[in-house]
A and B are shown apart, each in its own frame.
Chain A
Amino acid sequence: MLIVNGLTKIFNIGTVNENIALRDVSFSLNEGDFVTLIGGNGSGKSTLLNCIAGVYPVESGSIIIDGVDVTKLNEHKRAAMLGRVFQDPMLGTASNMGIEENLALALRRGQRRTLRWGISNKERELYRKLLKKLDLGLEDRLGTKVGLLSGGQRQALTLVMATLKKPRLLLLDEHTSALDPKTAQMVLDISDQFIRESRITTLMVTHNMRDAIKYGNRLIMMHNGRIILDIRDEDKQKLTIEDLLKRFGKASGEEFNNDTALLS
């Protein structure tokens, strides 16, 4: 359902700061794939997600979602097909607006916005039901400004927003890394539950090898702007951290020396 073909992204092209972030990246996702994306700092994970979402234009290559070539489509037009959660909990929600107002914005993703009232009573019922599943007490605080919520609550809310209208593709960029371990686990569990319940095709960036192995049916590893490993299904189920390190060494010709990844 997602085909990425020969994608190359160069930042600051033609200047001394020229930086090739993606080098001829190609891969495709099948319907329902839950991919964990792992790799060292600066290997291009975020850039890949941002290019798919249309945050940056690309130098060459194409991105096809459901047979539609979206390579030249504006970010806000692509949003109709995508659900996104960012690393920074502040980025996914509008802090001056209420919980229900944020959800109402998300419910209208991909729809023409009109002069109809921005939120209906029927929707509020839906929001209460969905927020109850989070078990964070947010269902009783629909009017509360999102700015008053904790980082974990905001990430959980962003996740609900990203999946409120089932996206064709869910992009999670280290969406638990700014949270304390307990909250991170909670948000990760919610993500896993949502993704599996609705069988949402997902690309999830993580720095944590254990999580990368534990979640999803497929693991992709990036290094220096390239995909160097793509491990699937049974192969992935049997995968251990030692295996992964060994295969990384073989594929890249380097030792995997990412402390954060090793420690966790």
Chain B
Amino acid sequence: MNHMPEILLGAVTLGLLWAVMTIGVYITYRILNIADLTVEGSITMGAAIAASLISKGINPYLATLLALLGGMAAGLVTGLLHTKLRIPPLLSGILTMIALYSVNLRIMGRANISLLRVDTVYTVFMNLGLNRTSAVLVLGLICVISLICILYWFFGTEIGCAVRATGNNPQMARAQGINTKSMIILGLIISNGLVALSGALISQSQSFADVQMGIGSIVIGLASVIIGEVLFSRTSFYSILISLALGAITYRIIIALVLKMGMPANDLKLFTAITVAVALSLPMFRAYLSPVKRSIREDE
């Protein structure tokens, strides 16, 4: 147990990087009301772009920015498939995700890239005297806090409100003159941009990118969203955004603990899927357990 503090710190650090992805998933899953599977491809795409550019000697900050743009392009493709070609959103996401697998292999040129001996976005902070974990922690915190501020601002603007209305009630949104197709595309672009950014940050912190790393990431994102919503406050938009970050961190802590308790790493995805299934069905169980709520539900 003497490694506990280190394990926890590692989990918090990794959780911060995944929080960026979690916030992206929240934008599609909760704000747009779309389960977008593109993220499985765009998180890898972020890692692939960042790793291949950095290993070719490009500035890591520029590489990370380009990773973000790559993810946005992936979101755009899904958005166009859905709105212009009228393919259902779930299927549009799957199509982009599958296509991205090949695209990512092309970007990387091979199945994985090591970043062990090159400068990453974290090197600047390590040069200031921080160790690796603290460097990731500091940059992760900077990213998450600025992201929360930017998104709080954006979803309060006229365009941001239009995106929220589109996800909440598209018919009403159109009646108020909102171009719902554009708003869906915009939401998917922002979401997948953030997911790719997260992938870029994760690959640099673990010093490698792997073409398989996105598999199951949507479930991790959803688990983090739901943990955040269930465990932490969700009264104002600020607190929701913060609870998403806390959800991602909590998820990582849970995973670290079950691994520490001896669960084989190969069972992780099964464990996560079960956690999400249970969490998603919680509202139903609650309705059964509480007679008052149950009668309200039946009135609906």
Q: Which residues of A contact B (CB under 8 A)?
A: 53, 74-77, 79-80, 82, 84, 86, 90-97, 101, 104-106, 108-111, 113-119, 161
B158 partner, pick from A75, A79, A86, A113, beta carbons under 8 A: A113
Q: What is the bound-complex CA distance between A108 and B164, given in angstroms?
A: 15
Q: What is the bound-complex CA distance between A108 and B175, given in angstroms?
A: 11
Q: Which residues of B contact A (CB under 8 A)?
A: 154, 156-162, 164-165, 168-169, 171-180
Contacts of A90 in B (CB 8 A): 169
Closest 7 CB pairs of A and B: A79-B177, A118-B161, A113-B158, A94-B168, A109-B177, A94-B165, A94-B169
Tell me the minimal C-beta distance from A123 to chain B in angstroms: 12
Kindly report which residue of chain B lies nearest to residue A116, judged by CB atoms: B158
Q: Would you call the interface of chain B mostly helix, strand, loop, or mixed?
A: helix
Contact A115 B178 (CB under 8 A): no
Contact A114 B158 (CB under 8 A): yes
Q: What is the bound-complex CA distance between A116 and B178, given in angstroms?
A: 16
**Given the contacts A91-B169, A92-B172, A115 and B158 also touching, CB distance less than 8 Å:** yes
Contact B172 A108 (CB under 8 A): no
B165 partner, pick from A80, A105, A115, beta carbons under 8 A: A105
Contacts of B158 in A (CB 8 A): 108, 113-118
**Given the contacts A93-B169, A94-B165, A94-B168, A109 and B176 also touching, CB distance less than 8 Å:** yes
Contact A93 B159 (CB under 8 A): no
Tell me the minimal C-beta distance from A63 to chain B in angstroms: 16
Contact A79 B172 (CB under 8 A): no
Contact B157 A115 (CB under 8 A): yes
Q: What is the bound-complex CA distance between A224 and B172, given in angstroms?
A: 28
Contact B159 A84 (CB under 8 A): no
Contact B168 A76 (CB under 8 A): no
Q: What is the bound-complex CA distance between A119 and B178, given in angstroms?
A: 16
Kindly report which residue of chain A lies nearest to residue B162, judged by CB atoms: A113
Tell me the minimal C-beta distance from A105 to chain B in angstroms: 5
Contacts of A75 in B (CB 8 A): 174-175
Kindly report which residue of chain B lies nearest to residue A113, judged by CB atoms: B158
Contact B161 A104 (CB under 8 A): yes
Contact B156 A79 (CB under 8 A): no
Contact B173 A94 (CB under 8 A): yes
Contacts of B160 in A (CB 8 A): 118
Contact B161 A79 (CB under 8 A): no
Contact B161 A110 (CB under 8 A): no
Q: What is the bound-complex CA distance between A118 and B162, given in angstroms?
A: 9
Contact B177 A92 (CB under 8 A): no
Contact B171 A91 (CB under 8 A): yes
Kindly report which residue of chain A lies nearest to residue B157, judged by CB atoms: A115
Contact B169 A113 (CB under 8 A): no
Q: What is the bound-complex CA distance between A74 and B160, given in angstroms?
A: 21
Q: What is the bound-complex CA distance between A153 and B111, given in angstroms?
A: 58
Contacts of B172 in A (CB 8 A): 91-94
Contact B164 A94 (CB under 8 A): yes
Kindly report which residue of chain A lies nearest to residue B30, judged by CB atoms: A96
12 contacts between A and B (CB under 8 A): A75-B174, A76-B173, A76-B179, A76-B180, A79-B177, A92-B172, A93-B169, A109-B176, A109-B177, A114-B157, A115-B159, A161-B176
Contact A79 B157 (CB under 8 A): no
Apart from A82-B175, A96-B168, A111-B177, list 16 A-B contacts with CB within 8 A. A76-B177, A79-B174, A79-B176, A91-B172, A93-B172, A94-B172, A97-B161, A97-B165, A97-B168, A106-B176, A114-B158, A114-B159, A116-B157, A117-B158, A118-B156, A118-B158
